[in-house]
Structure 1
Amino acid sequence: MRVYLGKYYLSKFSNPGIQDHAVEEIKRHPDYDAHTYANDIALVKLKEEAAITDYVRPVCLWPQSQSLDSIIGEHGDVVGWGYDQYGRITDELMQITMPVVTRETCVQSFPQFYARYTSSTTYCAGHKNGSSVCNGDSGGGMVFLRKDTMRWYLRGLVSISIALRSQFCDYSNYVVFTDSAKYLGWIGSVIAK
């Protein structure tokens, strides 16, 4: 398996700044549940170190001490090559800014779905206006620019959203994110090995 860093066009492999790395190991969370998407997080270890360049930069991990309340109503950015509203994979890396909503707001909007897939280790974000992430964006990070440090921080990972029978996703509903800040202990223990 290979990982491409700094990539902007999905179909092109010669963009300036692209780094091609072999994967040494993928470490899935030991309590991952494929039926409920609980603990939907994994770490990828590269065989060689990535170079920090104008095209490839690390993101900071969110401090565990900060509760989810600190980002309710805040807007985070998500990028990906998921399906568009016409059911086509996008070739150009797309970006969307999405507000984080309370769990109550999320569950009340569609109880049969969100009551099953949300928990204390997830959060919901999105617009109910026809713009959202979609299949193909799963695993992508939601990042926030913190004004106090002027650095980008990872807070969540795209986990699951509602799909329509006629389409790959429903752009009028919220998206469930794995709250990566709740997994800092596990991340630290994996990295330390």
Structure 2
Amino acid sequence: MSAFLLTINIVGLDGGRSLPAAGHLKVLRLDTLCILGPPTSPSRQPDVSENLTMTVTLPTVLLWVVMVTDCGIAPLNNGETRIVGGEDAPAGSWPWQASLHIGSTLCGGSLISNQWVLSAAQCFPSDSDVTVYLGRNVQQGENSNEVSRSVSRVIKHLEYDDKTKENDVALLELDSPVKFTDYIRPVCLAAERSFFVDGLSCWISGWGDVQTDGVVLPPPQQLQQVSVPIVSNIQCNAAYGSITPSMICAGPSITGKGFCQKDFGGPLVTLNGSRWVQAGVASFATGCGYPKFPGVFTRVSRYQSWISEHVGENQLGFITVFSSSSQASPISILSVVLSVLVSLRPSSL
């Protein structure tokens, strides 16, 4: 089996001596591996015989090591783009967005492979029939790029707690695979050890209500999108008192930006390089876009093993993402990088 050596040189802002952090990474799918630097760096496809060296200047987005299928690519989204306080999303902006119809209930979801959708466990309190729409832009009117699928099985996390919303995650297996188009594509998933810094820009999308008192989207009920920053679990817990490490929060401290009823199960994504990575699954919030109450999401990276166990990791695009801010300590960031490299090193090459 082929392998290569990845060497990371962490360089301080003072231009001082590089700190080498060498690790070995066993590559199973070299044809789909990308090494991405800071967001301004283009992705590149390494030759299988290369020994790769990356130099990273702190602070920045540190590193992506991507072993994926063709996930997280939105050809029709230029990256500049009414969930509460949001705006209309042009068709194809979020090609993994799924509209889940469970009886009379509407939830969101995300396509993670050609036959699996990720959503929230709370959306499936019973064994009701589920229809999944992909490539959909409006709930009322024609969707020329849409396909629909029935669901052959729903897998809810066995330890889901409906009261606390702990482990609010579910997988839906479609009754037949879908063909990828510019309007229907899978999202990448945040892998274990991913780190999302407070203030990191993310996006949420859905067809949910536009006000807390049940005001629905006006016709034609076009998919809505809104940009929200990550909020630290410490700050989020100050608002709710029940935030766990399996949750991640996002939302500004101003009114009018957040998710609402019927958005549950939808994706929280962030753009790294040229790929979109799902960091969270919409779970709960106090009100809809209330100030000082961020939206709470199931933290996807905590469920890599659970998702892979049911779907099969070869079908998925897990990405380990590290993000930092100008306030981050280079030593603390370096320790994270080193710990991940250790975790990636196989027992033998």
Pair 1:96 & 2:96 matched = no
Q: How far apart are the structure 2 equivalents of 1:125 and 1:80?
A: 15
- Report the CA distance between 1:107 and its aligned residue: 2.1
Q: How far apart are the structure 1 equivalents of 2:270 and 2:165?
A: 23
Q: How far apart are the structure 2 equivalents of 1:10 and 1:71?
A: 34
Given that 2:149 and 2:175 are in contact with CA atoms closer than 8 Å, whether structure 1 keeps it comes out as yes
Q: How far apart are the structure 1 equivalents of 2:236 and 2:190?
A: 22
Instruction: Tell me the SS of whatever aligns to 1:71.
Output: coil
Look up the equivalent residue of 2:306 and give its one-letter code: W
The TM-score, its normalising length taken from structure 2, stands at 0.49
Aligned to 2:150: 22
Look up the equivalent residue of 1:121 and give its one-letter code: S
Alignment of 1:23-102 (within 5 A): 23-67=151-195, 70-85=196-211, 87-90=214-217, 91-102=221-232
Pair 1:144 & 2:270 matched = yes
Q: How far apart are the structure 1 equivalents of 2:163 and 2:214?
A: 25
Note the alpha carbon deviations across 1:94-127, whole angstroms, 9 max, x for none: 001110011111122x2xxx112x1010011101
Q: How far apart are the structure 1 equivalents of 2:244 and 2:143?
A: 40
Q: How many residues align?
A: 178
Q: How far apart are the structure 2 equivalents of 1:81 and 1:92?
A: 7
- Report the CA distance between 1:192 and its aligned residue: 3.4
Instruction: Tell me the SS of whatever aligns to 1:153.
Output: strand
Instruction: Tell me the SS of whatever aligns to 2:228.
Output: strand
Q: How far apart are the structure 1 equivalents of 2:174 and 2:197?
A: 31
Note the alpha carbon deviations across 1:29-68, whole angstroms, 9 max, x for none: 010010110000000100100110111111011121323x
Alignment match of 2:277 (pick from 150, 153, 176):
153
Aligned to 2:298: 178
Tell me how large the CA RMSD over aligned residues is. Answer: 1.6
Query: Structure 1: where are the runs of 5+ without partners?
Result: 164-168
Alignment match of 1:115 (pick from 238, 241, 262):
241
Pair 1:129 & 2:225 matched = no
Aligned to 1:2: 131
Identity of aligned residues (%): 31
Note the alpha carbon deviations across 1:51-94, whole angstroms, 9 max, x for none: 10111111011121323xx3321011110011113732221110
Query: Structure 2: where are the runs of 5+ without partners?
Result: 1-129, 314-349
Q: How far apart are the structure 2 equivalents of 1:46 and 1:71?
A: 34
Q: How far apart are the structure 2 equivalents of 1:71 and 1:17?
A: 36
Instruction: Tell me the SS of whatever aligns to 2:235.
Output: helix
- Report the CA distance between 1:171 and its aligned residue: 2.5
The TM-score, its normalising length taken from structure 1, stands at 0.87
Look up the equivalent residue of 1:125 and give its one-letter code: A
Q: How far apart are the structure 1 equivalents of 2:247 and 2:307?
A: 16
- Report the CA distance between 1:170 and its aligned residue: 4.9
Look up the equivalent residue of 2:279 and give its one-letter code: R
Look up the equivalent residue of 2:280 and give its one-letter code: G
